[in-house]
Amino acid sequence: MGLTLYTATSTATGGRKGHVKSSDGALDLELSLPKGLGGKGTEGTTNPEQLFSAGYAACFDSALQLVAGKAKKKTSSSVTAHVSIEKRLKGMGLSVELSVEIEGVTQEEAEELVSQAHEVCPYSRAIEGNVKVKKTVKAI
């Protein structure tokens, strides 16, 4: 284990049909089961996959800006994380597709920056070997 720099704390009650709140109150959301999983997909609610996709997209974009800065590339980027829940032989699992657009670099440079970001992003590192991650990269 390394030196802890920050700890986020959230509490969930009621599972997928409940509520989640961060310890500082900044995150305070109702949860519902999405239609794709047999729920109603209640408007104004979220689910664990949306929360994971939002966190992963933000974290990966941050990692991308870090590696671009180290490479002295002045870029702007956008990361969209598509998180899917899948039925597998042994229960359920996740898959991820990261759609990345990077402005100000060539396609080859964009692909290299995304590869480097994937190596340093804490979310990518946390799920390595457990979740398939497809990366679609577009230089714009």
Rg (C-alpha) for the chain, rounded Å, is 17
Element holding 79 (H helix, E strand): strand 76-88
Together in a domain, 61 and 24: no
Q: Element (H or E) spanning 118, and its range?
A: helix 107-120
Spatial contact of 103 and 73, defined as CB atoms under 8 Å apart: no
37 phi/psi in degrees, rounded to 5: -110, 15
36/66 same-domain check: no
| Count of domains observed in the chain | 2
**Per-residue confidence (pLDDT) for residue 77, from 0 to 100:** 97
Q: Look up the CATH number of the domain holding residue 7.
A: 2.20.25.10
CA torsion sign for 80, 86, 89, 90 is positive
Residues in the chain: 140
Cα dihedral sign for 49, 54, 60, 64? Answer: positive
Together in a domain, 109 and 59: yes
We report the CATH number of the domain holding residue 106 as 3.30.300.20
Return the pLDDT at 41.
85
pLDDT in tens, 7-44: 999 999 999 999 999 999 999 999 999 998 999 989 99
Instruction: List the chain residues with pLDDT less than 50.
Output: none
- Which pLDDT value is given to residue 5? 94
Same domain for 106 and 52, yes or no, is yes
Do 41 and 77 fall into the same domain?
no
Is the same domain home to 87 and 131?
Answer: yes
Residue 1 is part of which domain span?
1-46
**Do 84 and 68 fall within a single domain?**
yes
